[in-house]
Amino acid sequence: MRLAIIGYGTIARQALNVLARDLARPLDAIVCLARADGAGRAQDLLESLGAGLAGERLVVGTVSELLSHRPDFVAEAAGHKALQDYGAPILAAGKHLLVTSAGALADDDLRAGLDAAAQQSGARYRICPGAVGGLDILAAAKLSGLQDVLYTSRKPPKAWAGTPAERLVDLAALKAAHVFYEGSAGAAARDYPQNANVAATIALLGAGFAATRVRLIADPAVSRNVHELSVRSSCADFDIRISGQPSPENPKTSLTTGYALANQILDLWPHSRGA
């Protein structure tokens, strides 16, 4: 088993730690694609995982180098730009791709490029559920006909630092919950690339980027990242609420996301789960 991963931050670290603990047998190789100034951090992460995770532990700087190490598939946990830059060449080389930065797929051209590369090589890209759940019933309900899909993301104010929310509201002075965005999943995914990947995932599996309604809330009363999905459809109405722990290293990212990526990786390799 040879795993390639793009990203060596919060999600990648969490996912790889789970694999180091839970894989039934060590990987033959793990290859991490790092930016030039991040190679040392990527190497430190791979070393920190101990000898049990993999025989070979390699940090590379380009996608062609990554592909030269013959990974079975590639997991992305690095952000929209990484999917834009590396997604199509990975799929064109016939490698399956697990996508965490689903918000990048709000760009129709990127999606068309990935679809074309996948079709030509036979490789597939799969969207990691990330911080959310309930995607199975959403996809089933879509087949029956969706009348309304609303996704609400409620996070503590500090999770919205460095986003356009800062221009819309004084995050530090907030005393009560404030809805600073109400609109389509497409615009949310584009404008909040580190916070609205879930909105894109829900849109892709459900009603699409234009018809999926999104509300983003900064709430000083919560300490969790709260995801709510409300669906009205021809086969069922449902409301799902997930109260996620924020990652200690990155309050924007729910801790669930790293576990979700590890779970997807374990799913792709039969017999890879330990007891």
Ligand X SMILES: NC(=O)C1=CN([C@@H]2O[C@H](COP(=O)(O)OP(=O)(O)OC[C@H]3O[C@@H](n4cnc5c(N)ncnc54)[C@H](OP(=O)(O)O)[C@@H]3O)[C@@H](O)[C@H]2O)C=CC1
Whole-Å CA distances, 68 to 86, 95, 117 = 14, 12, 18
Query: First and final CA of the chain: distance in angstroms?
Result: 18
Residues 118 to 137 in contact with ligand X, rule: CB under 6 A: 130-131
φ, ψ dihedrals at 141, nearest 5°: -65, -35
Q: Tally the residues of the chain.
A: 275
- Say whether 146 sits in a helix, a strand or coil: strand
The set of residues, in sequence order, having a beta carbon less than 8 Å from that of 143 and lying 6+ positions away, is 235
User: What secondary structure does DSSP assign to 231-259, as a single string?
Assistant: EEESS-EEEEEEEEPBPSS-TTSBTHHHH
Residue, CB closest to ligand X = 9
Q: Where are the beta strands (DSSP E) in 145-252?
A: 146-155, 178-184, 213-218, 225-233, 237-244
Question: Taking CB within 5 to 8 Å according to partner kind, which of ligand OAA, ligand X, none is near residue 244?
Answer: ligand OAA
Q: Does the footprint of ligand X cover residue 11 (CB under 6 A)?
A: yes
Q: Does the footprint of ligand OAA cover residue 198 (CB under 6 A)?
A: yes
Residues 245 to 274 in contact with ligand OAA, rule: CB under 6 A: 252-254, 257
Of positions 225, 229, 258, 264, contacts ligand OAA by CB under 6 A: 225
Residues 177 to 216 in contact with ligand X, rule: CB under 6 A: 193-194, 197-198, 201
Of positions 1, 5, 10, 123, contacts ligand X by CB under 6 A: 10
Q: Does the footprint of ligand OAA cover residue 197 (CB under 6 A)?
A: yes
Q: Does the footprint of ligand OAA cover residue 15 (CB under 6 A)?
A: no
Q: With CB under 6 A as the contact rule, which of the stretches 17-25, 109-117, 189-197, 232-240 interacts with ligand OAA?
A: 189-197
Beta carbon of residue 183, minimum distance to ligand OAA (angstroms, whole number): 15
Beta carbon of residue 199, minimum distance to ligand OAA (angstroms, whole number): 6
Q: Does the footprint of ligand OAA cover residue 195 (CB under 6 A)?
A: yes
Q: Does the footprint of ligand X cover residue 75 (CB under 6 A)?
A: no
Residue 247 · residue 258 · CB < 8 Å? yes
Beta carbon of residue 225, minimum distance to ligand X (angstroms, whole number): 9
For β-strands 178-184 and 213-218, DSSP reports them as: antiparallel
Q: Does the footprint of ligand OAA cover residue 233 (CB under 6 A)?
A: no
* Shorter beta-carbon distance to ligand X: residue 100 or 152: 100
Question: Taking CB within 5 to 8 Å according to partner kind, which of ligand X, ligand OAA, none is near residue 216?
Answer: none
Question: Taking CB within 5 to 8 Å according to partner kind, which of ligand X, ligand OAA, none is near residue 81?
Answer: ligand X
Residue 266 · residue 19 · CB < 8 Å? yes
Residue 66 · residue 60 · CB < 8 Å? yes
In the numeric block, the tokens 């979700």 are attached to 260
Query: CB-side exposure of 61: number of CA atoms within 13 Å?
Result: 5
Where does this chain bind ligand OAA (CB under 6 A)? 131, 194-198, 225, 244, 252-254, 257
Where does this chain bind ligand X (CB under 6 A)? 6-11, 33-35, 38, 77-82, 85, 100-103, 130-131, 193-194, 197-198, 201, 250, 253, 257
